[in-house]
Amino acid sequence: MDELIGQPFTVSFGFGGDDMLVSGSAIDSFDILIGGAGNDSYRITANQTAVILDGGNSPNDVLDLEGASAENVLVSTIDDGRHLVFDVLQSNSRVVLLDWRDEVNRINTFRAGETAWSYQEVVEQVNASGSQDFSWSQLGGPFDDTLAQLGLNSSPAVDTLIQAYLDINTAGAIA
């Protein structure tokens, strides 16, 4: 298993194979983690912020909110439920899952401490709780300023990011 540690305001690509992608950005910045094909694990540690786009359509992808307990995890959405947000209160961490309902980007297991939820359980939790839905700018922090500066705080920009990943994953990248 390859281990990739994200850096502030960068994109880390796992591509094919099983990867461990670890957030490496403080709460005042973020990194973008893209796992790709394979059984990928995403680990978000204390005081870290990440944006995740899986893009692999793999059945065993896992998001681990390290140091979290289930009762301290808040779930909300962005853009009318298109993107999922986990805020971990006790560890000051945040994770945004882009196009989380799309099967290609689906995370299958979510862990917070000793608690694990399936994808379906998270869907049910979001639907039952009437989770808050935000715009990118309402999230505040790095999502308000930095995403706007990078031009990534809109659905068309997210679509462009997704398409860029798909193009690279299909054609390959020149190093």
pLDDT in tens, 62-92: 999 998 899 999 999 988 898 999 999 888 8
Which portions of the chain are predicted below pLDDT 70?
27-28, 131, 140-159, 161-162, 165-166, 168-175
Number of domains in the chain: 1
pLDDT of residue 166: 66
pLDDT of residue 144: 56
Token pair, residue 11, equals 């994109």
Residue 166, domain member (yes or no): no
Residue 170, domain member (yes or no): no
pTM of the model: 0.83
Question: What's the rounded Cα separation, in Å, for the pair 121 and 116?
Answer: 9
Question: What's the rounded Cα separation, in Å, for the pair 71 and 89?
Answer: 9
Residue 154, domain member (yes or no): no
Residue 77, domain member (yes or no): yes
Residue 142, domain member (yes or no): no
Residue 59, domain member (yes or no): yes
Domain of 126? 2-134
Residue 150, domain member (yes or no): no
Residue 123, domain member (yes or no): yes
pLDDT of residue 27: 65
